[in-house]
């Protein structure tokens, strides 16, 4: 039985056997329940209250066998006292409780919640982004029920397009964006050159253009056509994509789902891979604050954070 109060958490478990300090075993059932309880507590409370003590009491019937009290100095806090957890208040309480479930979705929401909470406490914007991506990864895999990232991305993109009202926080973030806002904050040409580095990847480039109708995204593609004009021309796609772009810009019918999925799924996957695959020196070796890549990460993070919370809020439909 798990009881969560404003200033305390109580876990009562009936066990066939136990050790004096079950918290030392990271994968123990008790530890998992404590993690669940803390995640739910921080989501519901949305304040960085710290652990004052942990008391472990072992009983047999009504007889106390032993009791161990871990003081604050012995505990490693989940978050610092100054961490701003306000954004967690955007998670619906009833949906947060999904993380208590011993199901694939419940575990995905739990893992995502741990990374989301830790992202709010991260000291580096790059660490914050990486933790948010892990949260996102757990959720989109649970949603799509696929192992390959590409299949998960396709499924989520389709769902966003078909059900935009299910993503109110992230849609609200991208809706005000102008073409210049997006283009000036990302390395679009580098992504195109990276994702479509050979002629055989040109069909995928054509498809990525054709599936978009938002004039902001199409205007960015239009400006980038010269970097892969030869490939597109060689495969006979250039006239098709150029016509599609021109028609979409002329129609001027904004589709925020295009912007959200392009930024959070397509572009951020490129950014995440550059970080995760160690294709550059660690960002800890950036000696000045406010560099171009740091500015990009700081700009991207709020969109991903909003999408993670939107996904948690619909996780009961997975």
Low-confidence ranges of the chain (pLDDT < 50): none
Structural domain total, the chain: 1
Domain membership of residue 227 (yes or no) is no
Q: What is the pTM assigned to this prediction?
A: 0.94
Q: What pLDDT shows up at residue 292?
A: 87
List, for residues 131-183, the tens digit of each pLDDT value.
999 999 999 999 999 999 999 999 999 999 999 999 999 999 999 999 999 99
pLDDT value of residue 183: 97
User: How much is the pLDDT for 15?
Assistant: 84
Q: Does residue 197 lie within any of the structural domains?
A: no
| Residue 148, in any domain of the structure | no
What is the per-residue pLDDT for 155?
Answer: 98
Q: What is the pLDDT of residue 247?
A: 98
Query: Which residue segment(s) compose the domain that 52 sits in?
Result: 2-83
Please write down the HEC assignment for all residues of the chain: CEEECCCCEEECCCCCCCCCCHHHCCCCHHHHHHHHHHHHHHHHHCCCCCCCEEEEEEEECCEEEEEEEEEHHHCCCCCCCCCCCHHHHHCCHHHHHHHHCCCHHHHHHHHHHHHHHHHHCCCCHHHHHHHHHHHHHHHHHHHHCCCCHHHHHHHHHHHHHHCHHHCHHHHHHHCCCCHHHHHCCCCHHHHHHHHCCCHHHHHHHHHHHHCCCCHHHHHHHHHHHHHHHHHHHHCCCHHHHHHHHHHHHHHCCCCHHHHHHHHHHHHHHHHHHHHHCCCCCCHHHCCCCCCHHHHHHHHHHHHHHHHHHHHHHCHHHC
């Amino acid at each position: 039985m798990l009881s969560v109060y404003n200033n305390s958490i109580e876990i009562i478990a009936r066990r066939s056997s136990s050790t004096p300090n079950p918290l030392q075993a990271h994968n123990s059932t008790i530890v998992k329940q404590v993690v669940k309880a803390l995640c739910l507590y921080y989501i519901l409370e949305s304040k960085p209250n710290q652990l004052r003590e942990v008391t472990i009491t072992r009983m047999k019937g009504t007889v106390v066998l032993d009791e161990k009290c871990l003081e604050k100095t012995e505990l490693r806090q989940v978050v610092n006292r100054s961490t701003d957890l306000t954004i967690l208040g955007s998670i619906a309480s009833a949906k947060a409780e999904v993380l208590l479930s011993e199901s694939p979705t419940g575990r995905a929401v739990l893992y995502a919640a741990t990374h989301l909470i830790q992202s709010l406490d991260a000291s580096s914007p790059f660490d914050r982004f990486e933790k948010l991506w892990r949260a996102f990864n757990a959720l989109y895999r649970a949603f799509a029920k696929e192992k390959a990232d590409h299949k998960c991305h396709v499924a989520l993109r389709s769902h966003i397009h078909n059900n935009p009202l299910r993503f109110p926080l992230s849609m609200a973030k991208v809706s005000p964006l102008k073409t210049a806002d997006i283009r000036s904050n990302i390395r679009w040409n580098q992504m195109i050159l990276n994702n479509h580095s050979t002629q055989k990847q040109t069909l995928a480039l054509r498809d990525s253009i054709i599936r978009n109708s938002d004039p902001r995204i199409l205007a960015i593609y239009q400006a980038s056509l010269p970097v892969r004009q030869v490939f597109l021309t060689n495969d006979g796609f250039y006239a098709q994509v150029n016509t599609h772009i021109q028609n979409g810009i002329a129609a001027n019918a904004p589709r925020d789902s295009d912007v959200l999925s392009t930024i959070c799924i397509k572009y951020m996957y490129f950014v995440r891979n550059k970080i995760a695959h160690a294709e550059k020196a660690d960002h800890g070796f950036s000696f000045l604050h406010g560099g171009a890549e740091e500015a990009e990460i700081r700009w991207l993070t709020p969109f991903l954070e909003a999408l993670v919370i939107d996904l948690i809020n619909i996780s009961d439909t997975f």
